[in-house]
A and B are shown apart, each in its own frame.
Chain A
């Protein structure tokens, strides 16, 4: 022994420790395991690599990916992440800590979670936020469960068909096995049809509805009347949000929502092939005790100093077991820190600037694409901030391939034969022009 960097034991250590344990060999420590379960073959793993070999291996592996300029969204956006963020989140006091159960030596984690909760409340306008969840899609699934838990004897949740497909897929999975009925709300002009929603409330079974504040086409939806209709039949309004865009558009609270959820990825988290991201959830105070996940609260210590603890834990699985509001037992804490640092850096002015730039770039992109004559605009009156849908007049697959061949990722297609493009503040006019040139080359 002693030849592996992560195992500190010398041969002498092992011998003296075995003596203390009163056994002769390491295998004797497994004397309670039936002998035929002890794996005797060579493990089918590669030989150990040195650290240098590991680094070179991954560098080579990374080169097998094609670097693309991202003009795609669909719930994952290429926003700029300031250099401060990784410098903070890589601090090992944050990185290598466990859940802050021992609050006396976890005030750092607890305090930034409290700040995260406060910022989510500021963005959504709602009263209470939790310490974060796995991702946006699971936060929507948990919001669906909250609707059922917060209303009595109701078993149905309405879901807008303009929610992101990736979110709908996860919500459907949770609903299927959780015994919750889902009913789709149709779309009209690229937005949730609020009139149709009201008609679906006829039966008394509806516990809530999940509507996207920015939808799968990038459209900022108008939810006028939704909350009133839902509340009149004892159901909750859940808004699925892009928290970056929330800095400038009407908040869930302003729409009268009871719950807001979504993915914090748009707050500067790298795309990283889909994770880790961070889900969030906020609600009105009356639903606080039905909320899933950890919550940090403020209190004082014996000397009267302000400090923070995990609180309202009687909702959670380690206390309530099968009666818990959710099975979630962790949060995406480090990603919540990422978002908290991002919002601290951006402030209200930075968040406005990001949205202004996204708006300018995406509108410039859309106008330029329309001017090629190769698209129709299915939703000309819609408001969008960074993502939009077009109907291509060229074959979708060749459009997508052409873009890939030229180093662009965009024109995500859906079953309605629309394609979506997104342009964040990171996309330059030169990049946009280059993409449009590629599209233009498809004329003829």
Chain B
């Protein structure tokens, strides 16, 4: 990767064009009162300028295809190339979203079969594909939760229980859905404290949102009891599918008692993250909520169809033979790294993890050298120098130096071994001379940015 400084606005010249369209004859005739006063300040380039600019930008980016991406909670597995080929077939590209079903039988078959596949894997009865991302799925799922209670004339259920360790989207989605958030505590091992939960349950509870395995990568062993308690009080269980990956082919959320869930097709089902999207967050419900699905109109048309196509291609490749290994190998990879690095990183909770785990910083951060100790941020930045993406850092907030590692099942033992070796090397550097870490990364296109300056004096667009 190398530093490239330009913005597209700084290239080109007035009068240059990179489009090829027929000449217009009369042009648009817009009355003065509706006309724009000046043309928009867009760049004027030739085609090759545009191509080189964005190619140069791409070379400052790290993707799954560049190297190992152990970003906890993000499930950065390999994105198969056949998925992309399928999605870009012209048979799908030109279809208008409002075309009648009789003209889109192939498309409707994709939705129908995908729903059956996801039902088979999760144990839910029906799915909606409208949500465009995980958080969007959460919101849609919570709307369905409220719609269910409302359909029974039960309008008193305005609270939702969220574990203190939950992803920030859980309480945020609940707030957007007009629910009051009640926080249930975690025990020191990160699992939901059932004793803390019990007194929170009552006739005003719409349900509980859970991630299982939770944000520490630990299976919520008490889920059966939790499901019983919540159902007994008349509430529903929402499953946040962010951490579904280790359960693929092993455990089905529907069997654990969950009533509503979302999946992140861009995590669990191998579609690319695209630098932050598009994703797809289909929501599954159990039988008793199935009729309510059409009420959750949360996006304009049919969801992110091409993402759904990619995920379906992946499931067809996976098939019933390989599905059983997906979660198991993800879990094996995570435990292997955990066991191989716990001699130099603090492991707060012993025992088997699922697809990910959390370290609480270095055992020896080098502060005995008289310098400031190396932090989790320093470790993350130093990893970039060795060609690895950093893990998720400072989440969950249960620990001060959280370092959350998720390798996924698509990484080989050799890749994991080289990551483990580098992490040991970094730990040794920290112990002997933490300043090497403080100044990292040394080999990236840019060094650590001044984020305080960015926030205090926001520059959010190009100006001449």
Contacts and interface: CB of A to CB of B under 8 A. Distances in A.
Contact, chains A and B (beta carbon distance below 8 A)? yes
Interface stretch (B128-136, B195-203, B284-292): B128-136
A95 B24 contact: no
B449 interface: yes
A335 B278 contact: yes
A322 B171 contact: yes
A105 B252 contact: no
A271 B95 contact: yes
Contacts of B348: none
Nearest to A385: B28
Contacts of B273: 96-99
Contacts of A62: 89, 91-92, 106
A167 interface: yes
B53 A298 contact: no
B249 A43 contact: yes
Interface string A62-86: 1111111010101110101010101
Contacts of B320: 42-48
A63 B106 contact: yes
Interface in A383-408: 383, 385, 404
Contacts of B255: 37, 39
Contacts of B297: 169-170, 172-173
Interface in B423-464: 441, 444-451, 453-455, 458-462
Nearest to B44: A347
B458 A311 contact: yes
A343 B301 contact: no
A88 interface: yes
A17 interface: yes
A256 interface: no
B157 to A, nearest CB: 13
A20 B60 contact: no
Nearest to B132: A134
Nearest to A308: B449
A58 B89 contact: yes
B139 A72 contact: no
Contacts of B69: 98
Interface string A122-135: 11000111011011
Interface string A316-329: 11111111101111
Contacts of B352: 21, 23, 28-32
A273 B42 contact: no
Interface in A319-360: 319-324, 326-335, 337, 340-341, 343-360
A308 B7 CA distance: 11
A193 interface: no
A297 B454 contact: yes
Interface string A37-57: 111001111111101011101
A249 interface: yes
A104 B55 contact: no
B370 interface: no
Contacts of B401: none
B411 A8 contact: yes
A216 interface: no
B186 interface: no
A409 B36 contact: no
Interface stretch (A110-118, A181-189, A368-376, A432-440): A110-118
B305 A272 contact: yes
A318 B55 contact: no
Contact of B45 (A72, A99, A311, A344): A344
Contacts of B103: 65-66, 68, 404, 409
B229 interface: no
Contact of B277 (A145, A247, A330): A330
Contact of A138 (B77, B132, B146): B132
Interface string B82-108: 101110110111111111101111110
A350 B18 contact: yes
Interface string A278-309: 10000000001000001111111111011111
A215 interface: no
A249 B36 contact: yes
A76 B301 CA distance: 10
B174 interface: yes
A82 to B, nearest CB: 7
A234 interface: no
A271 B24 contact: no
Nearest to A302: B447
B332 A134 contact: no
A379 interface: no
A271 B97 contact: yes
Nearest to B33: A222
B460 A297 contact: yes
Nearest to A288: B458
Contacts of A383: 30-31, 34
A276 to B, nearest CB: 3
A231 interface: no
Contact of A347 (B43, B91, B93): B43
B93 A296 contact: no
A344 B88 contact: no
B59 A26 contact: no
B51 A177 contact: no
A224 interface: yes
Contacts of B61: 93-94, 97, 105-109
B39 to A, nearest CB: 4
B120 A355 contact: no
Given A55-B82, A122-B40, A274-B301, A178 B177 contact: yes
10 contacts: A64-B106, A93-B59, A179-B178, A273-B92, A276-B306, A297-B460, A299-B459, A307-B449, A350-B19, A352-B39
Closest 5 CB pairs of A and B: A48-B319, A62-B91, A274-B301, A274-B97, A334-B274
